Every structure is written in structure tokens, then in C-alpha cells.
């Protein structure tokens, strides 16, 4: 059994070495990324922001090889895959991250976004709500949930969510405008 484990470890190392060669990452760069994972994460997210998803994918894939439990690395990989239109793979990565880090509101919100992209609206609503239970102070999650309710035609729910959001963040002008839009749509739907 030990020989089989050693063989599997050697195979895994060979595969990782081949992947790194394919990604054109040398041992020096790999050592730097291993010693400073925040450099890998920050650079990966910069690539995402620039729309350079191929390089983001390379970096986050290396990150997973170095630490396949880090929520920031898994999140980055999931976001990148989603941006590349690989929704099923993105969902798998983010679900794994949620299992490993069940109290990470950002990961739950990102999973909700992927579900929304896939047309899995009930799951999306579930994950946005779960994310807000963990951290109700992330404004973008509130907006996403409200807009999702509007998209699904659940205007009353969107109205209530928007009121709750404004109770928490009373100075949010965008939310006030959104509330006015919801009220107008409710009035139109009743006429």
C-alpha cells in the first residue's frame, strides 16, 4: 500500500510539474508565490479586473496547486471560470469553497451569482439570503438580491428587501431610486 501511495505522490508531482511548465512558471516564481500567497491572489484579481481571464486562470490554478483550501484562491478561480462562461466548473469550485468555508459571505454571494447566470434562480436567492445572514453589511449583495427579485417578478419581496436595505443604509441614494422604481412597477402591475 505504501508503494502505491508513493507512486500516486510521484504521479501527482509529475502532473503538477507538467502543469507548471505548460503555464511557463519557473521554480523561482513558484517559490515566491508559495511564500507570498497574497501576491498570487492580488495579481489574479487584478487580471480579472482587467478582463485578462487566461492569466487569472493560470494564477488561480497555480494557487489551487499550492493550497486547495484557501477561500480567496478558490473564489478567484470560481469568478474567473464564471467570467469565461464556464458556469458548471465555476459552480463546482465555489460549492467546494462553501463546504470548506461555510461562513464566507463573499463565496456564498459569488455562488449565488453563478446560479443566477445558470438560470437557477431559486438557488441564487437561497445563497444570497444565506450570505446576508452571515454578513448583512455588504451592500452589493443586497442590490443583487433586490434585482434578482425584480427579474423574477417578485416585486413585493423586492420592495420589502429594499426597505430593509434602506433601514440598514439610510443614505443610499441608489437604493432610494430603486425603491421608487419598484413602487412604480408595483403600481403598473396593479393597473
Q: In the 8-state DSSP scheme, what is residue 25? A: -
pLDDT-derived band of residue 26, with 50, 70 and 90 as boundaries?
Answer: low
**Among 37-41, 63-67, 83-87, the range of highest mean pLDDT:** 83-87
Who wins on pLDDT, 114 or 41?
A: 114
Domains of the chain: 8-102 (1.25.40.10)
What is residue 66's predicted lDDT score, i.e. its pLDDT? 85
Q: Over range 130-156, report the average pLDDT.
A: 97
**pLDDT over 70 percentage in the chain:** 82
DSSP helix/strand/coil, 87:
helix
Do the beta carbons of residue 131 and residue 148 sit within 8 Å? Answer: no
Say how many CA atoms lie within 13 Å of 103 toward its Cβ.
0
**pLDDT over 90 percentage in the chain:** 71
Please say if the pLDDT value at position 151 is more than 80: yes
Q: Over range 163-186, report the average pLDDT.
A: 96
Amino acid at each position: 500500500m505504501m508503494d502505491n501511495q508513493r507512486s500516486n505522490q510521484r504521479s501527482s508531482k509529475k502532473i503538477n510539474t507538467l502543469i507548471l511548465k505548460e503555464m511557463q512558471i519557473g521554480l523561482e516564481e513558484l517559490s515566491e508565490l508559495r511564500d507570498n500567497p497574497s501576491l498570487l491572489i492580488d495579481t489574479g484579481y487584478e487580471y480579472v479586473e482587467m478582463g485578462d481571464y487566461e492569466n487569472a486562470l493560470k494564477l488561480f490554478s497555480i494557487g489551487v496547486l499550492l493550497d486547495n483550501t484557501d477561500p480567496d484562491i478558490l473564489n478567484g478561480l470560481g469568478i474567473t471560470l464564471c467570467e469565461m462562461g464556464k458556469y458548471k466548473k465555476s459552480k463546482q469550485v465555489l460549492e467546494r469553497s462553501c463546504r470548506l468555508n461555510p461562513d464566507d459571505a463573499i463565496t456564498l454571494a459569488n455562488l449565488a451569482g453563478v446560479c443566477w447566470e445558470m438560470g437557477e434562480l431559486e438557488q441564487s436567492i437561497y445563497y444570497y439570503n444565506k450570505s446576508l445572514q452571515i454578513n448583512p453589511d455588504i451592500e452589493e449583495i443586497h442590490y443583487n438580491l433586490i434585482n434578482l427579485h425584480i427579474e423574477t417578478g417578485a416585486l413585493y419581496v423586492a420592495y420589502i428587501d429594499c426597505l430593509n436595505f434602506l433601514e440598514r443604509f439610510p443614505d443610499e441614494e441608489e437604493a432610494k431610486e430603486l425603491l421608487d422604481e419598484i413602487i412604480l412597477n408595483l403600481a403598473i402591475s396593479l393597473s
